[in-house]
Structure 1
Amino acid sequence: MIIRRSDTLGTAHSGGQLLRCHFAFSDYQEAEHTHEGCLQAVNIGTMLPNGCYQIGPEAAVDILTWVRSGIVTTTMDHFQSEDIGAGGLHLISSGTGCRTLHWKAGGEGVSFIQFWILPDIEGTTPMQESRPQSSEDKSRGFQIIASGFPEDDPEEQENEEDNAPITLNARARLLQAALPAQEGAAYCTTPGRDLYMLVVSGSIRIGEETLFAGDAAAFEGITDLTVIANQHSELLLADVAADRPAKH
């Protein structure tokens, strides 16, 4: 386990937006923090009311935007704009290329976290997909909110439709958990995977280590993870391939 404390994060200027970055991004470059397996970037942003964040062109990356508070309107080439509220998740899969990617805050501003994941599949058509805040009981542990594993997509049943994970072009997962104080969550993966967990709020312990809001931890060569909440806590966990896809 490698812990990344919140006060060690980098700062990047991108598309008129100031971002706090876990990995090298835009003008923030640090040799010790370039990526975690196929997880290319984890960026935290806050936009003032009606503020904008615009980048591009981008290709061959899945960009997941999880909204912590407020409402953000997302826009990409040739697609209808979508409004994503607090707790919602939005995917832009840039595929063969998008000229412009645009996020605009609503009238109360917005706080968001983005995960950039390298896809396994080349030459896909750009696409977007959104998922509202889950109606599931997140206190049951880690819930899959985005996945590139076919087995994670539930059968098309009416009562499960709202909780189906967003479909990624990478064999990766993004999971979410909201844990009451002194309760825990466990997650099991397969060999050859890297895990990266971000404490959105609260504080947790893993073994004898304590992580606080804004802290993160990377896990390499570990297949079983258990966390205990010291207080009510919300977590995001990325499960990605440890080996990056070969470029052709």
Structure 2
Amino acid sequence: MKNPVLHPAASRFYADHGWLKSAQTFSFHGNYDPQRIQFGALRVLNDDTVHGGKGFGRHPHDNMEIISIPLEGTLEHQDSMGNTALIRRGEIQVMSAGTGVYHTEFNKDQDEPVSFLQIWLYPNKLNVEPRYDQVAYASADLHNRFQQILSPDPDDEGVWINQDAWFHLGEFDKGFETSYELKKDGNGLYVFVIEGNIEVDGQLLSARDGYGFWPGSPVSIKAAEKSFLLLMEVPEKW
């Protein structure tokens, strides 16, 4: 069995551009560590905060599955496919960049910051037609359970991507215990704690810690306090 990887919050790369503060779990742009390139198909996990009225100007992507999960504020998206959208907490955005797409992301609010998780996964199909989607979920659906927000199946819950990956969000009361069963044999699980403290198969994790491992059986999860977490099940190879 492959060794697990633990990424404490304080070990992440940090970039402070004034208008943007970014905590990066994996190597990104000028921040590079050959030991922290990816976890399976998971290539980027950035914890970004953008000041009021600021944002990312028009820039390109290709052959990457890009997921945004807002945590606070309102993110405004525009792209070369003709999409214009506002994304808030309680919504998930996906963009399959495929053969190539340009987009912008800005903080819609002039006075308050917007915070969101920016996640990139390698696709299992190259040069697909670019695609955009977003869906909403109810906060109540996360209470003491995992709500699926992403899968490889267009007919399943949440957004879909070109990869054998499943994402779930959950908000758990202190002391609540549950488990997670992998959807596909051989996949790995990367846990990111958004808020709180959690125990995952005996590994204690705090807010903004990340933990990637390759479980062979259902994963046990216990909330040491009120917690909010993201599970990302991803393939090792594709």
> Structure 2: how far apart are the matches of 1:177 and 1:170?
22
- Unaligned runs of at least 5 residues, structure 2: none
In the TM superposition, residue 113 of structure 1 has moved relative to its aligned partner by: 0.4
Hey, what does 2:130 align to over in structure 1? Answer: 126
> Structure 1: how far apart are the matches of 2:56 and 2:138?
26
> Structure 1: how far apart are the matches of 2:72 and 2:78?
19
Task: Note if 1:230 corresponds to 2:224.
Answer: yes
Hey, what does 2:168 align to over in structure 1? Answer: 175
Q: Deviations over 1:108-147 (max 9, x none)?
A: 2200001101111222111110112335521242211011
Contact 2:20 2:51 in 1 (8 A): no
SS of the residue corresponding to residue 174 of structure 2 reads coil
Hey, what does 2:41 align to over in structure 1? Answer: 38
Aligned counterpart for 2:76 among listed residues 73, 77, 92: 73
In the TM superposition, residue 222 of structure 1 has moved relative to its aligned partner by: 3.5
Instruction: Evaluate the alpha carbon distance shift between residue 194 and residue 12 of structure 1 in structure 2; reply closer, same or farther with a 3 A threshold.
Output: farther
- Unaligned runs of at least 5 residues, structure 1: 155-163
> Structure 2: how far apart are the matches of 1:81 and 1:90?
12
Contact 2:14 2:22 in 1 (8 A): yes
> Structure 2: how far apart are the matches of 1:69 and 1:222?
35
Amino acid at match of 2:143: S
Aligned counterpart for 1:200 among listed residues 185, 194, 197: 194
Identity of aligned residues (%): 22
SS of the residue corresponding to residue 10 of structure 2 reads helix
Task: Note if 1:59 corresponds to 2:65.
Answer: no
- Superposed counterparts of 1:1-248, under 5 Å: 1-12=4-15, 17-54=20-57, 56-98=59-101, 100-107=102-109, 108-134=112-138, 136-149=140-153, 153-154=155-156, 164-189=157-182, 190-243=184-237, 245=238
Which segment drifts farther, 219-228 or 84-93? 219-228
Q: Deviations over 1:135-189 (max 9, x none)?
A: 5521242211011146xx34xxxxxxxxx31011111111101111100231111
Instruction: Evaluate the alpha carbon distance shift between residue 192 and residue 38 of structure 1 in structure 2; reply closer, same or farther with a 3 A threshold.
Output: same
Per the normalisation by structure 2, the TM-score is 0.90
Aligned residue pairs, count: 231
Per the normalisation by structure 1, the TM-score is 0.87
Amino acid at match of 2:53: N
Instruction: Evaluate the alpha carbon distance shift between residue 193 and residue 51 of structure 1 in structure 2; reply closer, same or farther with a 3 A threshold.
Output: same
Instruction: Evaluate the alpha carbon distance shift between residue 238 and residue 198 of structure 1 in structure 2; reply closer, same or farther with a 3 A threshold.
Output: same
**Off by >4 Å, runs of 4+ in structure 1:** none
> Structure 1: how far apart are the matches of 2:223 and 2:80?
41
> Structure 1: how far apart are the matches of 2:8 and 2:126?
34
Q: Deviations over 1:177-203 (max 9, x none)?
A: 111110023111132211111000011
Contact 1:62 1:119 in 2 (8 A): yes
> Structure 1: how far apart are the matches of 2:127 and 2:201?
43
Q: Deviations over 1:48-82 (max 9, x none)?
A: 11111236321111110000011101111132210
Which segment drifts farther, 23-32 or 100-109? 100-109
In the TM superposition, residue 206 of structure 1 has moved relative to its aligned partner by: 2.5
Contact 2:191 2:212 in 1 (8 A): yes
SS of the residue corresponding to residue 78 of structure 2 reads strand
> Structure 2: how far apart are the matches of 1:64 and 1:132?
13
Tell me the C-alpha RMSD between the 2 structures.
1.9
